[in-house]
Structure 1
């Protein structure tokens, strides 16, 4: 709910009378808002900022970062809004966060929870295409659902957030040095549904939505279960990372195998790269990410392409031979010495070098499980 920074109230040209009711406000919608927020509207943005002891300029930056719409100086804020401002400003005053970092915290939280809120409301109402009783409005249907679910979902949200925070903090603690907290060596993978654009022209919207949801659910479950981290979903594409190449390789192959056995799903292609990645606000950036994306666009259907650095990492860690000839030599040497031969999990097949837009010549490798290459 970003605002103008003047702090002026009623009477200014183009401003909203802070005490005037919004003609679009539905009484039931206001009841629903009060149920969710736990308080009545009491403050204009200027009053909320003043009560929190925060400048109007900083309050506006926080609200805009959280993704709230401009409400001028309408009386639409509650005690919770004042408390949120006070807490963020307090973290800055205590030196725990810089002002820029506090704005980033507000922005990342706002963006994440905005999508979560939209998804939850859509999910709750998905099965309620017809009201339980004739004449009931959408708001009347929504109110009792949220009244029942709100306290449980709030507790669950905090639980999941704490779990994710603990996992993220653990990864940071295990890093060798502070530089790795921002720039780290990771395996980056894009998994892309083949021919998705054509599907959008042939399928009904509901059917297309179900396909995307099934793909995202399958990918998210596999990535989490096998030790990767899902960065984001883009409808027909998912981006994930892993701390090591072997984990990313296993996830990629399992994704291809799972979707190829599902007749309702299009074919999948995966591109992966290994190298230094910049992490910021839950996202990843850099040449390694760009390379993984480019490899995805040239990968064959139902196949996984990796860059040379990824292939070298698999060989270095002993989970793939540099070639089948090397694997045969290692097996023969182990047999001669009465030892167990190397247990390679993956096979690598070099592909033709090719020019990739913006990255020059790259040497892709086709990744498969041992015994699957021709």
Structure 2
């Protein structure tokens, strides 16, 4: 059988132990290499059942199981699938609860949010570059033979870089907490929320080959993420043909929306884009955002013209109140006929009812000089 690239999911604790003597030698060898790579990455070998790991960590088995499932790993019964590293992680997380720094439910949330984030990161790293790097360089070699020395070289550097990026992101998030006026502001905050959506993506999925579609989605997500970060916004999540972003400042959000349309519009291989932005109170939880403002931004995106940005009435008021856009085009000119120096132009569109949100007032956003 053809050896496969070793991934975290393929060497998870739910994988059976190598077969006993008399099984398929090739499969035995593949399982053996997978376990060696797993031990290299985790830094310890399997030796504990879940019960033994929980006891060694001094954590009740039901709580240890909750932590384990929250991190995204399957139940393994009574297999010896856990390591000393798993015991240490349980002990640390439970220690935060015991010290009163985290409640039990909060500790489970920490495990879940960390597991979800790093699972996607690990999958991306395997799919995007490790799979290509483990392509056998010579005939007769297997991926398994290439994987171990490659992981051995990359692991320390990737680990250091991951910790660096996490510390940077944690510092930025902590800064927002420190600047908040009160606790309520950290849960229910006033933000500009934007969606950017590729037009006709469903039709593209039927027309393009899988590899071409994957390359298009990756190019879209990469470009959008770069532009959002460069302008000072935050990428909340990507949904294939759509990205969700947030910004504390309405002017930043307006710049992001317009920059996305401008940048992606210059790519002849990219479909048209439509963007919707709303400003208002947003509930934040585990890195995601919820509430009517998010729903409104999504609705604005669905009705936005191709390669255009729509904003709601509150966003328009924020931009005009900050002197970034005029109350009307008539107000945009000074007495001598010259522009008053506004950055954005806003054109009213017909009000329309939206299910669940009532009557909305969309405004077409552009840069000054792009509209009459």
- Deviating runs (4+, > 3 A) in structure 1? 20-25
**Distance of 1:100 and 1:130 partners within structure 2:** 43
One of 336, 342, 346 as aligned partner of 1:348: 346
Match of 1:294 among 281, 294, 299: 299
In structure 1, what is the Cα distance between the partners aligned to 2:184 and 2:248?
Answer: 16
Question: Per the alignment, in what secondary structure is the counterpart of residue 370 of structure 2?
Answer: coil
Aligned to 1:12: none
Structure 1 length normalisation: TM-score? 0.90
Deviation at 1:139, TM superposition (A): 2.1
Distance 1:297 1:124 in 2: 34
User: Of residues 200, 204, 211 in structure 2, which corresponds to 1:199?
Assistant: 204
Count matched residues. 349
Deviation of residue 128 (structure 1)? 4.9
Task: Select the residue among 303, 309, 312 that pairs with 1:307.
Answer: 312
Unmatched tracts of structure 1, length 5 or more: 1-17
What SS does structure 2 have at the residue aligned with 1:133? coil
Paired position in structure 2 for 1:146:
151
Question: Residues 129 and 65 from structure 1, CA distance in 2 versus in 1: closer, same or farther, beyond 3 angstroms?
Answer: closer
Look up the match of 2:221: 216
- 1:194-273 alignment to 2 at 5 Å? 194-273=199-278
SS at match of 2:353: strand
Tell me the distance in 2 between the aligned counterparts of 1:71 and 1:210: 36
State how far apart, in whole Å, the 1-side matches of 2:239 and 2:108 are: 25
Give the equivalent residue in structure 2 for 1:176. 181
Q: Which residue in the other structure is 2:77 paired with?
A: 72
CA distance in 1, matches of 2:45, 2:60: 23
Superposed, which structure 2 residues align to 1:18-33 within 5 Å? 21-23=17-19, 26-33=31-38
Offset at residue 92 of structure 1 (A): 0.3
Report whether the alignment pairs 1:90 with 2:90: no
Q: Show the counterpart of 1:100.
A: 105
Q: Which residue of 2 aligns with 1:372?
A: 370
Partner of 1:318, secondary structure, is coil
- RMSD (Å), alpha carbons: 1.7
In 2 relative to 1, CA 38–130 (structure 1 residues): closer, same or farther, beyond 3 Å?
closer
Q: Distance in 2 between matches of 1:201 and 1:143?
A: 38
Q: Contact 2:325 / 2:345 at 8 angstroms: preserved in 1? A: yes
CA distance in 2, matches of 1:60, 1:281: 21
Q: Whole-Å Cα distance in 1 between the matches of residues 207 and 232 of structure 2?
A: 36
Q: Does 1:117 align with 2:122?
A: yes
Q: Which runs of 5+ in 2 are unaligned?
A: 1-13, 20-26
SS of 1:127's equivalent?
Answer: helix
Give 3-state SS (helix, strand or coil) of 2:194's partner: strand
CA distance in structure 2 between the aligned counterparts of 1:21 and 1:356, rounded to whole angstroms: 56
* Equivalent residue, structure 1, for 2:60: 55
Deviations 1:202-233 (A, max 9, x none): 11111111111111110000100110000001
Helix, strand or coil: the match of 1:368? Answer: strand
Deviations 1:8-30 (A, max 9, x none): xxxxxxxxxx9x94537711111
CA contact (8 A) 2:134 2:147 kept: no
Shift in Å at residue 143 of structure 1?
A: 1.7
